[in-house]
Chain A
């Protein structure tokens, strides 16, 4: 609307005279580490108190001291590392569907080696218990690529919190000037159906990841990424097995859809 456009213009001008940013990444990292350590200390102390209290209560109630109840981890506090747990096999048609679509969409798909496929939800990066499979908002699949033994292929099929998929403006801003080691690292396309396809390159240490994300209608996302070890971007180009156009075939596969969760998990909180 014209009125909206005018307000937007006025406010864009209002915020445009920004002074230089004085927060350095190191400052935030340092403060973040302190906050995290404090939080961990508090939770360890609370956990120790809880175990003591549970054992004390058990004895007080005349419980069998040889079989004390094992304290369960609190819901919503998954372990810090995501991929150390052995993943069980999950019921239902989704694991087979994901595996089949990934294999069908990629050259050499039949030779991919399935490592794990598990459900999760938008509040965690860790697998859900088998009993919670029907409440998944995410499914993650990991494959090894025999032709590139050091590489990993990850596919993710997500239902995101309502309204959290980015708009085209978000992607435009995100990609503006984005680069990794001097290489443009972000681009997007608006597809004929109005959905958005984002391609990204990220580097963490010597792991280079090429990611294609398809943001679909109804808060759906499919994400496929290939990780390779490489020293430079040129090395990474040689190390990756699949170009973005091929990954995009899987990301945009219309059959790659997961069911709505039977019970929707709580929306991600603000971290307070």
Chain B
């Protein structure tokens, strides 16, 4: 049996997009190993449907699969409780991570509900516009904006670094 002639195109897409999807997944789940599992499952499902996925929409399609996998996994596992240190594959830069505040970010993200984390990952890591995040998650744009605001506040509090995460002040005395 021959291989489908679109496999090369699929592999090109995998090579081009898997790393970015893994970063998005990591921002959602906070664990590189789980992020890789999510990406692998995403690409397996994408393979099954690749012959009818257009290249122009493949990115959106993959993101939708990934997000649904993340959210359905959360539902299956039930309520998660945030911890100070997330389980994560040991990396050479672990010490630098702690010093640089990555652990604080991880804890702040872990404290957010799963859907809010998905919003944060899509909006700020993937740089998607609010409208696209809303469409992808089936939420109102206002809900996406309020999720973003709450997440920014949580990050700001967790990092407690007013210099870098100072809230934007509007108006005030002149």
User: Once the chains bind, are A32 and B26 in contact (CB under 8 Å)?
Assistant: no
* Contact A14 to B105, CB < 8 A, known contacts A7-B155, A28-B14: yes
**B140 contacts chain A at the CB level, 8 A cutoff:** no
User: Once the chains bind, are B52 and A18 in contact (CB under 8 Å)?
Assistant: no
**A23 contacts chain B at the CB level, 8 A cutoff:** yes
In the bound complex, CA of A69 to CA of B61 (Å): 36
In the bound complex, CA of A205 to CA of B45 (Å): 24
Which residues of the partner chain B approach A39 to less than 8 Å between Cβ atoms?
48
Q: Which of B44, B128, B166 contacts A32 (CB 8 A)?
A: B44
Those of B20-68 within 8 Å (CB) of chain A: 20, 22-23, 26-27, 32, 36, 39-40, 43-54, 56-57, 59-61, 64-65, 67-68
In the bound complex, CA of A174 to CA of B131 (Å): 21
User: Once the chains bind, are A19 and B27 in contact (CB under 8 Å)?
Assistant: no
- The size class of the interface chain A forms with chain B is 35 or more
**A93 contacts chain B at the CB level, 8 A cutoff:** no
Contact count A vs B, C-beta below 8 Å: 182
In the bound complex, CA of A25 to CA of B14 (Å): 7
User: Once the chains bind, are B47 and A29 in contact (CB under 8 Å)?
Assistant: yes
In the bound complex, CA of A136 to CA of B148 (Å): 36
- Within the complex, the shortest CB–CB distance from A168 to chain B, in Å, comes to 10
Which residue of chain A has its CB nearest to the CB of B45? Answer: A271
In the bound complex, CA of A36 to CA of B132 (Å): 29
Those of B60-85 within 8 Å (CB) of chain A: 60-61, 64-65, 67-68
Which residues of the partner chain A approach B120 to less than 8 Å between Cβ atoms?
7, 11
User: Once the chains bind, are A82 and B9 in contact (CB under 8 Å)?
Assistant: no
User: Once the chains bind, are A1 and B168 in contact (CB under 8 Å)?
Assistant: yes
User: Among the interface residues A78, A205, A268, which one has the most CB atoms of the partner chain B within 10 A?
Assistant: A268
In the bound complex, CA of A28 to CA of B60 (Å): 19
Q: Which of B44, B93, B102, B151 contacts A31 (CB 8 A)?
A: B44
27 inter-chain pairs at a CB distance below 8 angstroms, sorted by A residue, are A8-B124, A11-B125, A13-B105, A14-B102, A17-B93, A18-B22, A18-B23, A18-B32, A21-B22, A22-B36, A25-B14, A28-B43, A29-B10, A33-B47, A124-B52, A125-B51, A125-B52, A158-B54, A162-B131, A163-B135, A164-B57, A164-B132, A164-B135, A204-B6, A204-B8, A268-B64, A271-B48
Add 12 more A-B contacts to A8-B127, A10-B159, A23-B36 (CB < 8 A): A4-B124, A4-B152, A11-B120, A11-B124, A15-B27, A17-B96, A17-B97, A17-B102, A32-B43, A126-B52, A162-B131, A271-B49
